[in-house]
Structure 1
Amino acid sequence: MWPKRKNIRLKNYDYRQNGAYFITIATYERQKLFGPEMESLLLDSYHLLERKYPYCQIQEKITMPDHVHFILTIDGEDKIEERKSISDIIQWFKGSTTIRYIEKVKAGQLPAFHEKIWQKGFYEHVIRSEEEVYQVRKYIQENPLKLALLQEEWKKK
């Protein structure tokens, strides 16, 4: 039997309220599925998410070979009770990108994947200050550089 997954969400926190959230979603078994040809599919998916959930905006974003990072902001005057939670929003995003990815695999435009595209769940961090916004943006922007430096180190070994 698999061990029970640890719940990383904040207890008694309503993930529908206005705020900024650092989101990371990894591919299933860390498959390296995402290259330049995936960028337009993801950009379209971010725009579709913003249209489907008008109180959501995708801020800083980066696509890595086996994961994506972005800042999701929720802001609006609408009733919080009528909003979807971050879990529902990310579930929709993963489903939407999976459908579109499969279409592109069938058309020979993207590589096939093993079993699934996305891992179960996602990582989120509630951003609580302007300093944190700065740090998260910096982390997202520097992520590709860190990967390139790591790959250089691996080549030397």
Structure 2
Amino acid sequence: MNKVNEPNRKSIRLKGYDYSTPGYYFVTVCTNDRRCLFGEIIDDVMILNDAGRMVKSVLCEIPIFYAGIDIDKFVVMPNHIHCIIIINSVGVGPRAYPEHHVATDGQPQGVAPTYSNLSLSDVVHRFKSLTTNKYIKGVKQNRWESFNGQLWQRNYYEHVIRNEIDLSETREYILNNPKKWHLDKYNPQTMETQRI
């Protein structure tokens, strides 16, 4: 496609902000077309299906594969995830195995960690890649609902958490998200009523 015909996409990131800076980041990632693929809300509780459990598992594994990255509170919703990603230090990077994974001869197994600045977008990209590959496998092997083109929307929402009050409010928002699904802007039924 000719560059002239490509849509002009503006970045929604803070101009000049270094997203590899240690801190807490609130992130929302939505499925493409906001399709509900990960389960359903029943009586204000998120009931994960197999795909939702896979997404949860990948979120929980991120700190294993990235030194200096932690996942604080999170929730997997029917068509999106909310999570707090913590970048603990500069100089983190992907690693093949957790640091505590040691062979029987006492030597660490796998590839030694490569240290480079890891940004928030690197973590989100890795999450999207891992979940997409596992989801495709689930479609082929377990007949999960297929998706059209891509599993996740191209972009993601982020908010730099600035202080303890902001952190507390964000954690509360994540915790209560399933209870407020009927009001959620990502809920397809809510979106339909807003159009009327």
TM-score w.r.t. structure 2 length? 0.70
Which structure would you say has the larger Rg? Answer: 2
Query: CA 1:78/1:111 → structure 2, altered by over 3 Å: closer, same or farther?
Result: same
Shift of 1:47: 3.0
Give distance in 1, aligned partners of 2:53 and 2:83. 15
Contact conserved, 2:66 with 2:92, CA < 8 A, in 1?
no
Contact conserved, 2:73 with 2:83, CA < 8 A, in 1?
yes
TM-score w.r.t. structure 1 length? 0.87
* Identical-pair percentage: 37
Q: Which residue number corresponds to residue 8 of structure 1?
A: 12
Shift of 1:31: 1.1
- Name stretches of at least 5 consecutive residues in structure 1 with no aligned partner: none
* One-letter amino acid of the counterpart of residue 20, structure 1: Y
Contact conserved, 2:25 with 2:86, CA < 8 A, in 1?
yes
Deviation string for 1:73-118 (max 9, x for gaps)? Answer: 1113647982211111111110100000111111125211122110
Give distance in 2, aligned partners of 1:82 and 1:50. 16
Q: Which residue number corresponds to residue 34 of structure 2?
A: 30
Give distance in 2, aligned partners of 1:64 and 1:25. 10
Contact conserved, 2:26 with 2:170, CA < 8 A, in 1?
yes
* One-letter amino acid of the counterpart of residue 86, structure 1: L
Give distance in 2, aligned partners of 1:29 and 1:66. 9
Shift of 1:30: 0.8
Contact conserved, 2:52 with 2:76, CA < 8 A, in 1?
yes
Residue 137 (structure 2) pairs with residue 103 (structure 1): yes
Contact conserved, 2:38 with 2:79, CA < 8 A, in 1?
yes
Q: Which residue number corresponds to residue 172 of structure 2?
A: 138
Give distance in 2, aligned partners of 1:29 and 1:23. 18
Question: Larger % of helix: which?
Answer: 1
Give distance in 2, aligned partners of 1:32 and 1:85. 28
Deviation string for 1:103-147 (max 9, x for gaps)? Answer: 111112521112211000111100000000011111111111111
Q: Which residue number corresponds to residue 44 of structure 1?
A: 57
Give distance in 2, aligned partners of 1:69 and 1:127. 14
Aligned with residue 116 of structure 2, among 67, 77, 82:
82
Give distance in 1, aligned partners of 2:54 and 2:143. 11
